[in-house]
Amino acid sequence: MCTGDCSKFIGVSLYPFCALCIICNILLLFPGWDIDAVNDPQQKLTPEVLYLGGFFGSGFLVLIPAICIQYTGRRGKCNNRLGMLVSILLAAVAVCGSIYGFVTSLLGLIHGPQCYYRFINGQQRWTSPFKIEREFIDLERSYLFHKESWSRCTIPVGVVEFNVIFFSTIMVASAIQVVLCTIQMINGLLGFLCGTCQRGRH
């Protein structure tokens, strides 16, 4: 496969992962399918959701370079050494965006959701309970490995599972984006040095 065809393949391959990250981040604005959370985001939304890592980072910061990377693989003005050089820079921007999406999702997964939590002493309030508890427990005792504590988040219903699923999805998609964009940086360098096989196309 020549470098031009590889660019087109990578550009197209990035589209579904960008869409997946954007959709997951939008859904995270409605924890446990609760639409009331957007009316009081500071209290009811996880801070990492508001960082919009999946929406801007792994979403649009990867989507725009992906469109340009695909375009360098098509026959035309951008299918040349200069186009490949530009694709390296765009792929680097996409790597930064996907890393941002990965890190914010990882933090969201580690810290857990905002919820109306029922403490052992009977108190109940809106808080980030698992983030507070992590100050007193080691990594092996993270809430992720103690599902029995999830039910103490009473409102929104099922918010812990909700956060785990969507943050994990963004993390996996972002990791794949990093791999694809890194490959494109190498491919772009080869295209810049050796050409895009444009002359061999008919």
For the cut 70, the answer to whether the pLDDT of residue 154 exceeds it is yes
pLDDT for residue 127 = 81
- Pick the residue with more confidence: 97 or 148? 97
User: What is the rounded CA–CA span in Å between residue 25 and residue 48?
Assistant: 10
State the chain's mean pLDDT as an integer.
83
Residue 126 pairs with which residues in a beta bridge? Answer: 116
pLDDT at 14 over 70: yes
Contact (Cβ atoms closer than 8 angstroms) between residue 85 and residue 192: yes
Q: Which amino acid is at 197?
A: C
| Residue-level pLDDT at 168 | 96
- Specify the pLDDT at position 191: 76
Residue 35, token pair as written in the block: 């639409």
Residue 9 has pLDDT above 70, yes or no: yes
pLDDT bucket at 133, cuts 50 / 70 / 90: low
Task: Calculate the CA 171 to chain-centre distance.
Answer: 5
Domain positions in the chain are 3-114+158-200
Name, in order, each residue with C-beta under 8 angstroms of 61's C-beta and a sequence gap of 6 or more.
93, 94, 96, 97, 98, 100
- For residue 173, give the nearest of 22, 4, 2 by alpha carbon: 22
Which pLDDT score, from 0 to 100, does residue 35 have? 83
Higher per-residue confidence, 136 vs 77: 77
**Secondary structure of residue 61 in the 3-state scheme:** helix
| Dihedral sign computed on CA atoms, order 6, 7, 9, 10 | positive
> Residue 84: its pLDDT value, please?
80
Q: What is the pLDDT of residue 132?
A: 66
Give me the mean pLDDT over the 151-161 stretch.
Answer: 88
pLDDT tens, residue by residue, 72-115: 866 655 566 677 888 889 999 999 999 999 999 999 998 888 88
Report pTM.
0.85
> pLDDT higher for 182 or 7?
182
The confidence band for 16, taking pLDDT boundaries of 50, 70 and 90, is: very high
